[in-house]
Amino acid sequence: MSSLLVLNGSPRGSHSNSMCMMSPVIEGWKSSGAPEPEVLHLAQRGEFERAIEHFPAADTVLLGMPLYTDAMPALVKLYIEALAPYVESASQRDQKPTLGFLVQSGFEEALHSRPLEHYFEKLARRLGSPYAGTIVRGSGWSLPLMPENENRALVTHLRALGNQLARNRRFSEAELRVVAGTERFSPTAAAWLSLAFSSPAAIPNSHWDRALEKNNVWDRRYAAPYADALPT
Ligand SMILES: Cc1cc2nc3c(=O)[nH]c(=O)nc-3n(C[C@H](O)[C@H](O)[C@H](O)COP(=O)(O)O)c2cc1C
């Protein structure tokens, strides 16, 4: 029976949205009869080291993370750079871990995470590993916040992906498309959202306005402390 190493790349560790989204994938993996995966949080120093050590012996690795400023968190980049020795040795080894990825973002549209997906496909090639695919999902915050019945369909599809990973070492394209949800807003929806965010009374801004007031920095909301450092 093949082994799975699950790596959580969120700096928020075990309470992160990334972990919340990977949990059903793990359940799906186990539902196939495959053994309990090892789960490591890269944000924990000791676990980060173990994640490097355990990488080459795993049959399958699932690396999940949030999207931070349209990229992977620095922690994940650091981890990938630590795998450099395996790039050199990839051609010499017969058995390479199959690599699967999960990227979840704050914004709803899946397209924000697509550049990372392309990067991961290339990374698997460079490491000489079979590529299982990348699970992409927007509105990652909703899974821990929304009631169970709102999340039921998503959780079911994430479990199905975990089961596919165990049985086929590959996510199905059809399941990945369903989990991705909104790929891109329609022009009409985009126009409405743009209006909502640009209006002075924008409802989406109220959360941030309250945080500014609570922290007594409302008067400094347009401060640009690094503006002078910009090249002219
Ligand atoms: C520093 C930072 C940068 C972020 N950048 C983006 C971004 O560029 N695009 C996006 O859709 N969400 C962005 N987000 C939102 C996170 O992707 C989202 O809240 C995610 O669910 C957090 O997952 P976690 O709990 O696993 O860390 C950012 C969040 C933080 C804290």
As for ligand 1, residues whose beta carbon falls within 6 Å of it are 10, 12, 16-18, 66-70, 104-107, 112, 140-141
Q: Could you give all domains of the chain from N- to C-terminal order, each with its CATH number? A: 4-180 (3.40.50.360), 187-221 (no CATH)
pLDDT score, position 90? 54
Which residues, 6+ apart, have CB-to-CB distance to 39 below 8 Å?
Answer: 6, 8, 26
Query: Measuring from atom 27 of ligand 1, which residue has the nearest CA?
Result: 10
pLDDT score, position 204? 65
- What is the C-alpha separation between 68 and 172, in angstroms, rounded? 26
Mean pLDDT for back-to-back runs of 10 residues, the chain (232 residues): 94 96 98 97 97 96 97 97 80 78 97 98 95 97 90 97 98 98 95 80 75 94 82 64
pLDDT score, position 114? 98
Say if strands 4-8 and 131-137 run parallel, antiparallel, or are unpaired: unpaired
Phi–psi pair at 65, nearest 5 degrees: -165, 165
Q: Which of 83, 65, 63, 86 shows the shortest CA–CA distance to 74?
A: 65
Whether 2 and 166 have beta carbons less than 8 Å apart is answered as yes
pLDDT score, position 229? 77
Distance 115 CA to ligand 1 centre (A): 15
Distance 96 CA to ligand 1 centre (A): 31
pLDDT score, position 200? 66
Query: Measuring from atom 2 of ligand 1, which residue has the nearest CA?
Result: 68
